[in-house]
Amino acid sequence: MTPLRQRMTEDMRIRNLAITTQRSYLFYVSQFARYFGKSPDALGQEQIRAYQIHLTQEKKLAPATIVVAVSALRFLYKVTLRREWNMEEIIPTPKMPKRLRFRNCLLLSSCEQSVAPERDPGTLGLRLYQRPPDRVHRHAVRFGVKAGE
């Protein structure tokens, strides 16, 4: 284990980061180092930018995955290497796509609505139904909808 990796591991343990977070951070920092074939402490702002472009355009990773890689690099450079950079400018976080979240509702597609009773003309092709109250019925609806796809 390299001294830099050891120090980063110790810094994460001091801050009581979850084991899975530690593994993810070490994985992405090692991928960053392998991409350039150098130690991360020898790499600078331009290499970080090039690596983010690589993750986004060449590997086509999801924004959530890139956020983990960015967090790992921010931790490395801010905490472990103590670089006095403006992290938000140098290592920006990608914008996450917004998702519709319906807590107690089930959203049916227009195909699924064709078998649903009483169509409401004001729904624009989508219809909300109250979520089934218990787990057994939720699974029955979920798997019934999946089977119809």
Domain-by-domain residue ranges, the chain?
Answer: 3-90, 105-147
At the topology level, CATH places domain 3-90 in DNA polymerase; domain 1 (1.10.150)
The residue-averaged pLDDT of 29-40 equals: 94
Choose between 47 and 114: higher pLDDT. 47
Q: What is the pTM of this model?
A: 0.63
- Quick: pLDDT tens for 91-141: 777 777 776 565 555 555 555 555 555 555 554 444 455 566 677 766 666
Determine which of 49-63, 65-79, 101-115 has the lowest per-residue pLDDT on average.
Answer: 101-115
Distance CA 40, CA 36 (A): 9
57 contacts 93 by C-beta, under 8 angstroms: no
Backbone angles phi and psi of 106, in degrees to 5: -120, 125
**What does the DSSP assignment read for 98-129?**
P----SSEEEEPHHHHTTSSS--GGGTT-EEE
